[in-house]
């Protein structure tokens, strides 16, 4: 298990770039667990500690492509699913006192709404979902998909 620490600065000048770097890392690695802390100094920021395993890539073997529907348009039913997922994510983030993107990014939720997995194991096929997110949020996501 490896450890990586990120600083997500909240000022408009840095937040989007910092989030983009973190999103890329989350997509390229299997996150086992994470810790966050809000740091209040001259410039407030989120400190994110990630415990992870690198995704194994065999020599001359490309990483398996995970499903991503970020460029695809959603139909009315899928928009309703996306809205329900965002509502759930916001509540979960408040409950855990985390930024929403650590629960799931907009791209991930968009892909779930389009892909519509039936079992939580199928979330592994969605870009950005690894063992940690599936174990901690998979059942709730599937319940949302079943009820919407």
What's CA 49's distance to the chain center, in Å? 15
Assigned token pair, 129: 């979902």
pLDDT at 60 (0 to 100): 45
Q: Is 15 exposed, middle or buried (CB count within 10 Å of its CB: 0-12, 13-18, 19+)?
A: middle
| Tens digit of each residue's pLDDT, the chain (148 residues) | 899 999 998 888 888 888 888 888 888 888 889 999 999 988 889 999 999 988 765 444 455 566 666 667 888 999 999 999 999 999 999 999 999 999 999 999 999 998 898 898 889 888 888 888 999 999 999 999 999 8
- Measure the CA–CA gap between 59 and 140, rounded to whole angstroms: 37
| Strand, helix or coil for residue 41 | coil
């Amino acid at each position: 298990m490896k450890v990586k620490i990120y600083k997500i600065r909240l000022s408009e000048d840095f937040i989007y770039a910092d989030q983009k770097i973190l999103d890329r890392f989350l997509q390229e690695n299997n996150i086992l667990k994470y810790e966050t802390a809000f740091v209040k100094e001259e410039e407030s920021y989120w400190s994110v500690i990630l415990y992870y395993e690198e995704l194994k890539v065999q020599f001359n073997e490309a990483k398996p492509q995970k499903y991503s529907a970020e460029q695809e348009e959603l139909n009315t039913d899928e928009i309703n699913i996306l809205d329900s997922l965002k509502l759930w994510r916001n509540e979960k983030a408040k409950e855990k006192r985390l930024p929403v993107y650590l629960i799931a990014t907009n791209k991930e939720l968009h892909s779930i709404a389009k892909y519509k997995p039936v079992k939580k194991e199928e979330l592994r096929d969605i870009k950005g979902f690894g063992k940690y997110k599936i174990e901690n949020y998979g059942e709730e996501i599937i319940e949302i998909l079943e009820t919407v």
